[in-house]
Amino acid sequence: MLTPLLAGLGLGLSLIVAIGAQNLFVLRQGIRREHVLAVVVVCAASDAILIVLGVSGVGLALAALPWLVTAVRWAGAAFLVGYGLLAARRAWRPSGVLTVDPSTEAAGDSAAEPSSAIHAVTTETRLSTTVLTVLALTWLNPHVYLDTVFLLGSVATTHGDDRWVFALGAVAASVLWFSALGFGARYLGRWLATPRAWRILDAIIAVVMITLGVSLVLGG
């Protein structure tokens, strides 16, 4: 019973722990301490749904619809490039800055309110906008279906009756990773205590997002 669980946990982590659009967004939200719980829940729940679909055999049915993966690829590419351009705009001409007070971070006062550690000139992004963004980054990524539904689902079938234990391990990997990334990112705030640092972070996000979007098109 333990072996399929650990196998699912290991494969789940190997597929999730990588530099990508979704992880970068979770990281950025974690550093900003903005709707972190909602972002983590959406990411983990989405993964759980995709894993269940893969293990239940839906992935095999979707394999007969290659046009669906193509449609998702183009939609995902357009969204990633668009989001990357917005990040590039923030890096080039920021409309506001969000900095973290290093003294508060160093104190490690977990009971402190976020407002005591974070100083924002811009208005906080609405929860609905954040949720829609993370949903798009998750469900418009064709690699999510290839990795989570097809690959992970195929490996799960090799465990026979224990395939759902394997799936449980994969779901646990998703919950652990996104929780650690989202809630652990706050400790990076001390290195992002200046507007220039945030512009650099947005520039990196822009490059990665646009590169991923272009690669989806060229890779098709």
- Across the chain, mean pLDDT equals 78
Please tell me the least confidently modeled range out of 59-63, 115-119, 154-158, 184-188: 115-119
| Predicted confidence (pLDDT) at residue 174 exceeds the cutoff of 90 | yes
pTM recorded for the entire structure:
0.71
Which residues have CB under 8 Å from 123's CB, separation 6+? 96
Measure Cα distances from 139 to 6, 9, 129, 154, 204 in Å: 26, 22, 15, 20, 22
